[in-house]
Amino acid sequence: MIPLDPLAALVVAGGTLLAPVAVGLLIGVDRKANAAVQLRVGPPVLQPLYDVTKLLAKASAGSDRVAAGLLAAHLVLAAGSFALILAGGDLLVAVLVLGAANLSFILAASAVESPFAQLGAGRELVVLVATEPLLILVVVAYALAAGSFSSAAIAAGSPYMVAVPTLALPLAVLLSATLRKSPFDLASSHHGHQELVKGSTTEMAGGWLAIAELGHWYEAAVILALIVLAAARLPVVAAALVAALYAIVIVADNTLPRATWRAALAIAWAVGGGGAAIALVTAVLASTKGAMG
């Protein structure tokens, strides 16, 4: 990781603090887009931020100490993963930290006696099994193309969507799974009818539920940062890439039904894993060609 001067450290800290706000706004736009597809008005764009603010203001009932500690760890680790990418750190370490954050949330849901919470934790574990290998493959593909695991070195490299176009497939799967959209909404979803099966947060309320939500927003921020890294030198192209993948995810969410856990794993590994495997080969060929040139 490149040593940070005070100004750079301030930028990283500010960016880390503002990341969930940006993700909350993006989720608000997402809900508006979904409502438009379904011919509804939909909630205000700022509604996700309103909801989290109201939850933080509510007095939380007594919570299991173990679950509360794990929820706090989930938020801190997810925020740390994003900060590590923003600071130009090791991308592989950032992904492993994000995996630890996901595991902390799963353990928090499992720590209570509610059968719904434990069922939700099991479903969250399936999503983790589907996405964590894809995250590592994406990072390795970036490293092969850039010659380094450093996010700073990757961001300074050439646009990888041109050299390694199939990276878009695992990144789209990761974005869809992180936002819990069809067909990866077996654990939870933004759709109201799925609140009945969103067991992982059954015993969470008030501030603790807000902390869980903020942790998930940081997870989404990490995936969005990985997408931006594909064309970080060209901000307009990076923004267009985020918009394009988000549009694909929204279309899939409104056209595909909820999948079983077996189907979700098969889709993730077939589409995302296949694209990542091709990306690895393409990255090796590109790096070999660059070395020979």
pLDDT tens digits for range 213-246: 999 999 999 999 999 999 888 889 999 999 999 9
Cβ pair 169, 276 in contact under 8 A: yes
Q: What is the mean pLDDT of the chain?
A: 85
Cβ pair 168, 245 in contact under 8 A: yes
Phi-psi region of 88 (alpha: psi -120 to 50; beta: other; left: phi over 0): left
Task: Give the pLDDT confidence score for residue 3 in this predicted structure.
Answer: 61
Cβ pair 163, 286 in contact under 8 A: yes
Q: What are residue 207's DSSP bridge partners?
A: none
Q: Which of 226 and 263 is assigned the larger pLDDT?
A: 226
For residue 96, pLDDT over 80 is answered with yes
3-class SS string, 114-137: CHHHHHHHHHHHHHHHHHHHHHHH
Task: List the chain domain ranges.
Answer: 6-288
For residue 59, pLDDT over 90 is answered with no
For residue 193, pLDDT over 80 is answered with no
